[in-house]
Amino acid sequence: MELLQLSAVAAREAIAAGDLDPGEYAAAWQEAAARDDLNAYLWRAAEGGGEALAVERPALPPVAVKDIFCTEGVSTTAASRILAGYRPPYTATAVRRLLDAGAPILGKTNMDEFAMGSSNENSAFGPVLNPWDRERVPGGSSGGSAAAVAGGLAPWAIGTDTGGSIRQPAALCGIVGLKPTYGAISRYGMIAFASSLDQCGPLTRDVRDAALLLGLLQGRDPMDSTSVGLPEAPRLPEREDLRGLRFGVPAELARDDLEAGVREVFEATLGRIEALGGELAEVSLPSAELGISAYYVIAPAEASSNLARYDGVRYGLREGGDGDLLQMYETTRAQGFGAEVKRRIMLGTYALSSGYYDAYYGQAQRVRTRIAADFEAAFGDVDLIVTPTSPSVAFRLGEKTDDPLEMYLNDFFTVPMSLAGIPAVSIPAGLARPAGGGPELPVGFQIAGPAFAEQRLLDAAHALERAIGFDARPAAAAAEGGSDG
């Protein structure tokens, strides 16, 4: 258990100094992953079959990888039945960079199907459970990665963020989740949902671990024309105060339905910023409140195009047909895709259809441009922008599955940053009780910065994290021996 308490940064230093045997350390984490009763993993390295992912000289903690990243010879499903049994012939660049740096793969984590969801209830392999309260969701779509880290089943993990799918589950599980600037990390080998929005990023127990993992992942990749990397590799943050930094609080993102406990923690965190020497100022993001509307046109439209390739011909599931090609297409897609994926394909196809393209998709893209311009103007007055990460703490399993709009609104605070392509991080800021009562659960605090300002973001988040002193260990304890959080 002492080994599992080490941060990833501390473990790396101990391995480098010869004070920690990497084999013993990896075995301890494999044993921890084998105790998974949160449904966080879809495949674990200890089960075998990952010869192509072997690391000759481990130098870093093993990493849990969202099952949306292609891994050579290992099942990669994006949590969809339509990719059942698919074993890619290559490994995603992000995963390859971790392997080359000496980070073994611990396992592939559960997720919302094709990264479409905010609760991890859309997986074809069943929902992931929140380690703080197993009757609640961990958030999504990277819920398996977030739950694995929070529940003591992995030292760190990677996920993907399209509209908040790293930050929101990080908030609901009480860990750190970072969405880098669009293009900072290669998307090659990352199964596409919405290509202009998808971005890989870290889920970790603290900000320094996030900085270390980001440094391993970032960089330009000739296999991905949208990748540019960061101007310089991030260093581990050491900042202890916020003097000289100005934080913007956007009035337009205030919500009447923000849970009282979340609002209380958010306001208390603003007080901590001032206590650390930071300055608060109100900023205007006039178009940000339209982010959800624009996102749920743009993302489904891109998904409609990206998911057209799943037709039963090239890989994965094939059902029906009896020699009739069209029938085979229809039967395979009907049986292979889940309800939420079908909903978004239909929404996206409609938005791109003749006579509606400009009214819906074109208009949404214009809103997206306005949102990016609003952020650029705001960053002329402030260094960083802060909001809650999620309007509520983790909600109960099944609570919002019958109301897609209510589910989509979980991304209200995270979507604008995704549309603008700017970096944002969620850190745990405290605990609050749900509106309907229950155990205290984590609340996330989101900090966003200008494009490629990851170092500024990490420095500020580290200083604030130290002041908050959040203890994520209760989640790991709950995962081991109880469901009351």
At 157, is the secondary structure helix, strand, or coil? strand
Give me the percent of the chain exceeding a pLDDT of 70. Answer: 97
DSSP letters along 333-361, please?
A: HHHHS-HHHHHHHHHHHHHHSTTTHIIII
Question: Same domain, yes or no, for 329 and 420?
Answer: no
pLDDT, averaged across the chain: 94
Its domain, for residue 348, covers 288-365
Closest CA to 152 of 233, 46, 36, 72: 36
Whether 276 maps to a domain, the answer reads no
Question: Same domain, yes or no, for 195 and 301?
Answer: no
Rounded CA-CA distance 239/241 in Å is 6
Quickly tell me which residue has 């290559």 as its tokens. 90
- Domain final residue pick, 310, 338, 365: 365
Question: Same domain, yes or no, for 361 and 381?
Answer: no
Whether 186 maps to a domain, the answer reads yes
Question: Same domain, yes or no, for 322 and 400?
Answer: no
Output phi, psi for 285, to 5 deg: -125, 75
Q: Kindly report the length of the chain.
A: 485
CATH number at residue 417: 3.90.1300.10
Question: Same domain, yes or no, for 175 and 293?
Answer: no
Angle value at C-alpha 216, between 416 and 236, nearest 5 degrees: 80
At 392, is the secondary structure helix, strand, or coil? coil
Question: Same domain, yes or no, for 50 and 29?
Answer: yes
Question: Same domain, yes or no, for 325 and 432?
Answer: no
Question: Same domain, yes or no, for 242 and 301?
Answer: no
Two tokens, residue 107: 């396992």
Question: Same domain, yes or no, for 44 and 103?
Answer: yes
| Residues involved in catalysis | 66, 141, 165
Rounded CA-CA distance 146/175 in Å is 7
387 to 173, 254, 413, 449, 477: CA distances (angstroms): 17, 9, 7, 12, 29
Closest CA to 151 of 460, 394, 468: 394
Burial of 22 (0-12, 13-18, 19+ CB in 10 A): buried
Give the count of domains, the chain: 2
**For residue 314, what pLDDT is reported?**
84
Whether 260 maps to a domain, the answer reads no
Of the listed ranges 273-277, 313-317, 414-418, the one predicted with least confidence: 313-317
Whether 92 maps to a domain, the answer reads yes
Whether 270 maps to a domain, the answer reads no
Question: Same domain, yes or no, for 134 and 36?
Answer: yes
* AA identity, residue 358: D
Whether 272 maps to a domain, the answer reads no
Rounded CA-CA distance 224/461 in Å is 29
481 pLDDT tier (thresholds 50, 70, 90) = very low
Rounded CA-CA distance 17/401 in Å is 49
Number of CB atoms found within 10 A of residue 258's CB? 18
Contact call for residues 192 and 83 (beta carbons, < 8 A): no
DSSP letters along 276-338, please?
A: TT-EEEEE--TTGGGHHHHHHHHHHHHHHHHGGG-SSSSSS-----TT-HHHHHHHHHHHHS-
Q: Which long-range contacts (CB under 8 A, 24 or more apart) does 304-312 make?
A: 304/344, 304/345, 304/347, 304/348, 304/349, 304/351, 304/352, 305/348, 305/352, 306/192, 306/193, 306/194, 306/195, 307/114, 307/337, 307/341, 307/345, 310/82, 310/83, 310/336, 310/337, 312/336
Closest CA to 57 of 99, 108, 13, 11: 99
Question: Same domain, yes or no, for 476 and 383?
Answer: yes
* AA identity, residue 186: S
**For residue 310, what pLDDT is reported?**
94
Whether 274 maps to a domain, the answer reads no
Q: Please, what's the b/e burial string for 222-245 (b: 16 or more CB within 10 A of its CB; e: otherwise)?
A: eebeebbbbeeebeebebeebeeb
483 pLDDT tier (thresholds 50, 70, 90) = very low
Output phi, psi for 178, to 5 deg: -120, 125
Given a cut of 60, whether residue 482 has pLDDT beyond it is no
Contact call for residues 158 and 63 (beta carbons, < 8 A): yes
Question: Global pTM?
Answer: 0.95
**For residue 257, what pLDDT is reported?**
81
Please state the rounded mean pLDDT for residues 293-321.
92
Rounded CA-CA distance 110/205 in Å is 19
Q: What is the pLDDT of residues 221-231, one digit of tens each?
A: 999 999 999 99
- Domain final residue pick, 304, 335, 365: 365
Q: Please, what's the b/e burial string for 67-100 (b: 16 or more CB within 10 A of its CB; e: otherwise)?
A: bbbbbbebbbbbbbbbbeebebeebbbbbbbbbe
Q: What is the pLDDT of residues 245-273, one digit of tens each?
A: 999 999 887 777 899 999 999 999 999 99
Given a cut of 90, whether residue 203 has pLDDT beyond it is yes
**For residue 252, what pLDDT is reported?**
81
Q: What is the pLDDT of residues 63-88, one digit of tens each?
A: 999 999 999 999 999 999 999 889 99
Rounded CA-CA distance 98/71 in Å is 12
Given a cut of 80, whether residue 280 has pLDDT beyond it is yes
Q: What is the pLDDT of residues 366-402, one digit of tens each?
A: 999 999 999 999 999 999 999 999 999 999 999 999 9
- Domain final residue pick, 304, 331, 365: 365
Whether 65 maps to a domain, the answer reads yes
Instruction: Please tell me what DSSP assigns to residue 362.
Output: I
Question: Same domain, yes or no, for 359 and 397?
Answer: no
Q: CB within 8 A of 345, min separation 6: which ones?
A: 300, 303, 304, 307, 337
370 to 269, 277, 449: CA distances (angstroms): 29, 32, 17
Q: What is the pLDDT of residues 161-182, one digit of tens each?
A: 999 999 999 999 999 999 999 9
